[in-house]
């Protein structure tokens, strides 16, 4: 009941005064995070609250309901109790700061919050960060929307092997501009990212490169970068 009342109060606040009147620390699981958006100038005055907004929660029922039959299919052997729901402020590269969301394994939740705090401090742009369930757990659709994600119980594309995403221990960063490239077949995933398979192309703020802030934040903590794989580099992909 308390959660329902809080949600209704926040909806009233959005309706009455606009989303920018919301404070970062008002965010809770089950509340539409798309309503939380500030200009970079506004965000500069909210930095302490934005840093406090980096949070981890056990999977609440509202989030579990979004996941069921999508990223969490029937028969999924991973207990929901082993997963965590993260709220992650991020710069979107379009002049705004948003509150993103991510589901991961509980064992990496604190580490991921530290990684994304570091990227936030560096103003590293992450265009979109919503649960893959908003795309019906369709990886191609999510990647084509440049959506940064973690947990999704699925196999590696083109195989029967479970992906590290199935354990909630892999993150895909800005995937539209950081595709997986099969150098033998010429396949590029997502298909919309073909021009970004050429890593010599002019700078793009969403491109992950060896030595950049994202690469350093992940690899320093022991995460492996898919961009270093020889035959099928996956430039979006970090896994533990």
Q: CB of 157 within 8 A of CB of 189? A: yes
Domain ranges of the chain: 2-239
The candidate with the shortest Cα–Cα distance to 81, out of 109, 50, 58, is 58
Residue 202 has pLDDT above 80, yes or no: no
Q: How many other CB atoms are found less than 10 A from the CB of residue 136?
A: 11
Q: CB of 37 within 8 A of CB of 21? A: no
Q: CB of 78 within 8 A of CB of 21? A: no
The rounded Cα 102 to chain-centroid distance in angstroms is 5
Q: Which residue has the higher pLDDT, 29 or 4?
A: 29
Q: CB of 126 within 8 A of CB of 148? A: yes
Q: CB of 107 within 8 A of CB of 99? A: no
Sheet holding 37-39, edge to edge: 37-39, 96-105, 83-91, 55-58
Query: d(Cα 53, Cα 116) in Å, to the nearest integer?
Result: 12
Q: CB of 231 within 8 A of CB of 196? A: no
Q: CB of 33 within 8 A of CB of 57? A: no
Q: What is the pLDDT of residues 99-108, one digit of tens each?
A: 999 999 999 9
Q: How many other CB atoms are found less than 10 A from the CB of residue 240?
A: 19
On the CB side of 210, CA atoms within 13 Å amount to 9
Query: d(Cα 147, Cα 53) in Å, to the nearest integer?
Result: 20
Average pLDDT of the chain to the nearest whole number: 90
Residue 159 has pLDDT above 70, yes or no: no
Instruction: Categorize the per-residue pLDDT at 161 as very low, low, confident or very high, splitting at 50, 70 and 90.
Output: confident
Residue 6 has pLDDT above 80, yes or no: no
Q: Which long-range contacts (CB under 8 A, 24 or more apart) does 209-215 make?
A: 212/124, 213/118, 213/119, 213/122, 213/124, 214/119, 214/124, 214/173, 214/238
The alpha carbons of the chain give a radius of gyration, in whole angstroms, of 18
Least confident range of 20-24, 81-85, 135-139, 168-172 = 20-24
| Predicted model pTM | 0.89
Residue with tokens 């994304």: 116
């Amino acid at each position: 009941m308390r959660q329902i009342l809080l949600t209704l109060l926040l909806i009233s606040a959005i309706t009455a005064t606009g989303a920018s009147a919301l404070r970062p620390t008002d965010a809770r699981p089950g509340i539409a995070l798309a309503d939380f958006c500030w200009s970079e100038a506004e965000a500069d005055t909210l930095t302490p609250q934005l840093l406090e907004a980096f949070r981890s929660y056990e999977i609440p029922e509202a989030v579990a309901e979004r996941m069921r039959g999508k990223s969490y299919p029937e028969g999924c052997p991973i207990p929901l109790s082993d997963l965590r729901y993260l709220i992650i402020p991020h710069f979107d590269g379009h002049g705004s700061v948003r509150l993103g969301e991510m589901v991961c394994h509980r064992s990496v939740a604190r580490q991921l919050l530290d990684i994304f705090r570091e990227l936030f401090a560096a103003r590293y742009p992450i265009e979109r960060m919503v649960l893959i369930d908003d795309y019906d757990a369709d990886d191609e659709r999510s990647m084509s929307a440049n959506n940064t994600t973690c947990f999704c119980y699925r196999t590696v594309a083109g195989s029967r092997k479970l992906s590290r995403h199935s354990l909630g221990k892999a993150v895909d960063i800005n995937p539209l501009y950081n595709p997986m490239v099969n150098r033998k077949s010429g396949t590029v995933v997502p298909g919309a990212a073909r021009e970004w398979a050429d890593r010599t192309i002019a700078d793009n703020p969403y491109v992950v490169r060896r030595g950049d802030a994202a690469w350093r934040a992940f690899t320093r903590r022991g995460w492996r970068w898919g961009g270093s794989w020889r035959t099928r580099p996956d430039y979006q992909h970090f896994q533990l």
